[in-house]
Chains A and B, each alone.
Chain A
Amino acid sequence: MALTETPMQAEKAKTIFEKSKAGRRAAALPDVEVPEKPLAELIPENLLRAEAPRLPEIAEPEIVRHYNRLSRRNFDLDTGFYPLGSCTMKHNPRLNERVAALPGHARLHPAQDPRRAQGALELMWLLQESLSEICGLPHVSLQPSAGSHGELAGLLLTRAYHADRGEQRTKVLAPDTSHGTNPASVTMAGYEVVKVATNERGGVEMDDLRAKLAENEGEVACLMLTNPNTLGVFDENIAEIASLIHEAGGTLYYDGANLNAVMGHSRPGDMGFDIVHVNLHKSFSQPHGGGGPGAGPIAVSDRIEPYLPKPQVVRREGSNGHGPSFDLDFDRPKSIGRLRGFQGNFGVFVRSYAYILSLGGDGLSEASETAVLNANYLKARLAEGKSGERLPIAFDRHCMHEFVLSGKPMKRDLGLATLDLAKRLLDFGFHPPTVYFPLLVDEALMVEPTETETKESLDAFAEAVEKILTEAETNPDLAKNAPYTTPVRRLDEVRATRRPVVRQQLG
């Protein structure tokens, strides 16, 4: 391959601080308007800053150019296929941005008296009701800021539930296929993780589960599970798992990262889960923003409800001919307390509620159907030809909304690691699947196409994989040195950890 430098590669990355020139500026501020006093008369000198922080000095046109140029150095969902497993990269409807920006939402102060924020509280209540119906659990708190925050909330709820019954439990079970946040949350909540093995169908290994429950009798606080799990398969034993955990006195936690597979088809509450977190930035179309913001509301069963974070949004029936009103309930003596400031990521709630209104019950159910159809179709396409041979499916059965391939034969036969395939896909204009996760599959590739992709996109992706595997038969170095066309090529990540440079030195 000709190694001609692209124009974008030739443009050396310069930070906005390096573009700064003393005396330039963008902002014009209002006049002070009031009679001014010397600063040191208002605040003691020893508490004042000696020199202004060295922020960039740059005019507005150059700021716009700088960030527009940077934006072109990003790949994004609006540009192309983004089959990142477990991330649900579905289209982000622009209507949601428009309604979130309405002044009644965007400029509403979070400490506004509930009587003057009735629309916002009603919206939150309606979203709670919708999520309750989708999850099959009666109570919802919108407070957690992300999935990981929801997990921590769920574990603290579990702790409060047991403490209220005079029990002190120390262990939390999680399958070896679980998301990394699960064990990290377990540690933060003061529990110890006990791993549970996976069976040959990709579900929880029941004998191991029984063994772990027996070994840790009276100690197990919770089992955290994703269903469908990170292998993209539905655990058929879930009802039995639920009764084993409940008999052992534990709670069952549902990591809702994969809820997009089952909306309107199966509900975590009906499966026996006590606590569910929902990633509004996955199933409910909040844009990912390059790594946030999101929101991770939780839905819980009756027995967990008393411990929910506060405040809780409540609806009060009207009297004397008045309609219902909405309020923040702080009077929750058994609550675990706050998980964050104010009421949660309201802007995300607006977008997700707009999404639910747009699709309706049937639409959500159809979204899951199409997500599952798309995943199975792409899985079938990749089971053909060279990809079928070099990238076999890790667990050969129908998948739900995502599936996991193993690059082990590709590595053995062609010398290509999963990472090489991923990097070569970049040259073909695709975001690669999630790689090297879950950990129990060798050279794993986790593919989640979502419902908002066309058959043509799925075909094009399958063809690109086929092409890469074909070229690798004669020239494996092509993939091993990829990518070639991206703004930068492979980066030295080891150096960034060994000798981290995490800020610019300013002159």
Chain B
Amino acid sequence: MTSFTSFPPAAGARIISLGGYQPANVVTNDDLAARVDTSDEWIRSRVGIISRRYAAPDETVADMAVVAGGKALAGSGLSPADIDLVIVATCSTEVPIPNVSAMVAYRLGIVSPGAYDLNAACAGFCYALANASDAVRAGTARHVLVIGAERMTSWIDPYDRSTCIIFADGAGAAVVGPVADGEPPGIGPVVWGSAGDMADKIAIPNRRSYMYQEGQAVFRWATTAMHPIAAQACERAGVAVSDLSAFVPHQANLRIIQAIARRLGVPRERLADDIVRSGNTSSASVPLALARMAERGDLKAGSPALLLGFGAGLCYAAQVITVP
């Protein structure tokens, strides 16, 4: 019988490098207040955002994914030929067919990798990272390019003040590969799940409509149900919450992530708050925050960081990673 796997199974997987991309167009709270009935003070106090980035009119999910993915690839020291699998987590593609991952791979010069899009909304990157880790450990891929890319503004009503102030565009990426022999895994066990009974709480009701969310219900769910998931991911990884160098949750709303951090027992200075300047970029928010923190030197290489994604579905996933 032939082997099921293309590569030797690995004892563990790790993130080798990160990359992020934000569109050039900075949109301030005052810019939005000129269009809808809101104010800088209201937005800062309710969601914690000062400014966010909007994609250019002709800039697509794939365009942003290519830039972030290209940066991560360059930082990995690998060549495009070394990548066997490309996963793009996204829920905001312009059209559902074709997927973006195959064309992103092609544009990056990655020849004929496995390529698929993954929709777990704002939890997408954490799901994709778990899939990538499992592929490397099983030996179905040696190196995986994982990207979270979103153009949320395609699906947001620019005149709906409950959503247009929150959501934004961007991309983040990571190259995942095997750990060296004898090294512990750099991507810990994933704790994931879903709550389909609340599917209507965050939704695009039909193909002609914009995204809708029931803010208060989502807020309550996120601030009560997510800290136990995060704690479980730490436990599964054998890492104490107090030993985390960073907690990088999906950048949903500053108030939500501060409440989760408080209940988890993570001090404010270790909580990623990239939402302040990036807005909520759904599946891009975790890798984008990581990449921006790494660029600023705010991440300590070799230390444990906790990732937590949660959002529409409702879907959620958490895992502890070793900072590259």
Q: Do A and B come from one complex?
A: no
- Write the residues of chain A forming the contact surface with B, with a CB cutoff of 8 angstroms: none
